[in-house]
Amino acid sequence: MPLAITQVDAFTDRPFAGNPAAVCLLPAPAEPAWMQAVAGEMNLSETAFLVARAGGGYDLRWFTPAAEVPLCGHATLASAHVLWEQGRLRPDQPAIFHTRSGELRAQRLAPPNAAANCVGWIELDFPAYAIEMCEPPAGLLEALAGMNAKPLAVNFTGRRLGSPPQAPSDYLVELESEAAVRELAPEHGRLKQLPLRAVIVTGRGSTPGCDFVSRFFAPGVGVVEDPVTGSAHCALVPYWAAKLGKSELTAYQASPRGGWLRLRTAGERVKIAGQAVTVWRGELID
């Protein structure tokens, strides 16, 4: 039977910006190899697969073209958007997702804006990640050598607050300015050879109304540069909240497509808000 599939641009209120994700609603759990093949066919940074639970909520899994990932912000935002847009949830009903990262929730913050295919601001409830200063792995700074700026700090992240220590796989590098982040030109071939999953590059914002900017490179899961990365803000929110002494922040991910996020701290959780728009709908014929 054909399966409905929707492509959504997340963390934007207009098409062809933000981060695109495919959302596929399944009648029953599917084989991981099949989901991986679909994600490769879609060739987006993430494809989300949802299965409704009998007792309420949805099982949710995320796949890049190369691998399954434990957490994805923009595809979760896209999934919640689809559930509300298609009337599978009432406007006042939270979206509840059961995932490899535990239970995640989304809620609508305001009525829809003028765009017919946008349900308005959606806030995600995600885990906060610990930030731990470290020495950069050999070759990382050389792969970022085109940045024309020296890093102010190198940290590793990816461990949830309150969980046991683990080997680092994601790195957070702070640069001296917003301009340095925007002008960064990494050597992607060298990044791909390093023993890391991803690297977040960030800097204090100089654009009015922007507390910080970031970019996200994930060679370990086949993503050269992610347009807007909700999960990266699980680390960026506690990092910048501590540095700036603020519990509410506004951020911009400065990829070529770009996207805005409204953020706030909540103990061992972070709240990540954005908008999303549907770009196309179709059927997957298996």
Provide the strand spans (E) within 11-128.
19-26, 46-52, 58-63, 68-69, 95-99, 102-108, 122-127
CA 106 to chain CA centroid, nearest Å? 14
Kindly name the residue from 46, 85, 174, 225 that is annotated as catalytic: 46
The residues, any chain, with a CB within 8 Å of residue 3's CB and separated by 6 or more, are 24, 25, 26, 27, 283, 284, 286
Residues contacting residue 121 through CB under 8 Å, at least 6 positions apart: 108, 109, 110, 262, 273, 274, 275
Closest CA to 275 of 78, 9, 8, 12: 12
Count, residues in the chain: 286
* Alpha-carbon torsion (158, 195, 31, 230), positive or negative: positive
Question: Is 46 noted as a catalytic residue in this protein?
Answer: yes
Closest CA to 229 of 211, 216, 212: 216
Number of H helices, E strands in the chain: 6, 18
Q: Return the active site residues.
A: 46
